[in-house]
Structure 1
Amino acid sequence: MDWTFSPYVALHFVTADVELYDRDGVIWCLDYKKVHQELPKALSHLLAEEGADVFTIDMLSDILSLRDFDAQADNTFALFFEPPSIDDRIVNQYALFSVMSNPTIGLESWLNERPDTYRKIRVAQELKWEIRDKLDQANINERVLFPGLDGLSRWLRRQYMQAVDRQVLNNSDELLR
Structure 2
Amino acid sequence: MKQTRVTTWSQLMDCLYEEAWMPALQRFRPPFAFRGLPDASYTLNTSLMRLSDNCAPIEGHLLRNFKKYALRNVVERDSFWYWLSVAQHHGLPTRLMDWTFSPYVALHFVTASTQRYDRDGVVWCLDYKKMHQQLPDALRGLLEKEGADVFTIDMLSHIHSLREFDDQAEHPFALLIEPPSIDDRIVNQYALFSVISSPTVGMNSWLEERPDVYRQIIIAKELKWEIRDKLDQANINERVLFPGLDGLSLWLRRQYVQPSSDSDIPSNLLMN
Q: What's the TM-score once normalised by structure 2's chain length?
A: 0.59
CA contact (8 A) 1:18 1:162 kept: no
How do 1:69-108 and structure 2 match up within 5 A?
69-108=165-204
The C-alpha deviation readout for 1:73-105, integer Å capped at 9, x for no partner, is 001100101000010000000001000001111
- Runs of 4 or more, structure 1, over 6 Å off, are none
Q: Does 2:190 align with 1:65? A: no
2: distance between equivalents of 1:50 and 1:109? 30
- Partner residue, 1:162: 258
- TM-superposed CA distance for 1:31, in Å, is 0.2
CA contact (8 A) 1:35 1:78 kept: yes
- TM-superposed CA distance for 1:161, in Å, is 2.0
- Partner residue, 1:174: none
1: distance between equivalents of 2:218 and 2:153? 32
- TM-superposed CA distance for 1:64, in Å, is 1.1
- TM-superposed CA distance for 1:41, in Å, is 0.8
- TM-superposed CA distance for 1:164, in Å, is 6.4
- Partner residue, 1:38: 134
1: distance between equivalents of 2:260 and 2:139? 51
2: distance between equivalents of 1:51 and 1:59? 12
Corresponding residue SS for 1:38: coil
2: distance between equivalents of 1:27 and 1:75? 27
1: distance between equivalents of 2:108 and 2:200? 30
- Partner residue, 1:116: 212
How do 1:116-155 and structure 2 match up within 5 A?
116-155=212-251
1: distance between equivalents of 2:141 and 2:125? 25
The C-alpha deviation readout for 1:123-174, integer Å capped at 9, x for no partner, is 1111100110000000000000000011111112212223764xxxxxxxxx
1:79/1:164 CA distance change after superposition, 3 Å: same
Q: Which amino acid aligns with 2:134?
A: E
- Partner residue, 1:171: none
Corresponding residue SS for 2:99: strand
Q: Which amino acid aligns with 1:136?
A: D
Residues paired across the two proteins, number: 164
Q: Which amino acid aligns with 2:245?
A: L
* RMSD after superposition: 1.1
Q: Which has the larger radius of gyration?
A: 1
CA contact (8 A) 1:2 1:98 kept: yes
Mark the runs of 5 or more structure 1 residues left unpaired by the alignment.
166-177
2: distance between equivalents of 1:92 and 1:68? 32
CA contact (8 A) 1:76 1:101 kept: yes
Q: Does 2:100 align with 1:4? A: yes
1: distance between equivalents of 2:242 and 2:150? 24
- Partner residue, 2:35: none
Q: Percent identity at matched positions?
A: 76
Corresponding residue SS for 2:172: coil
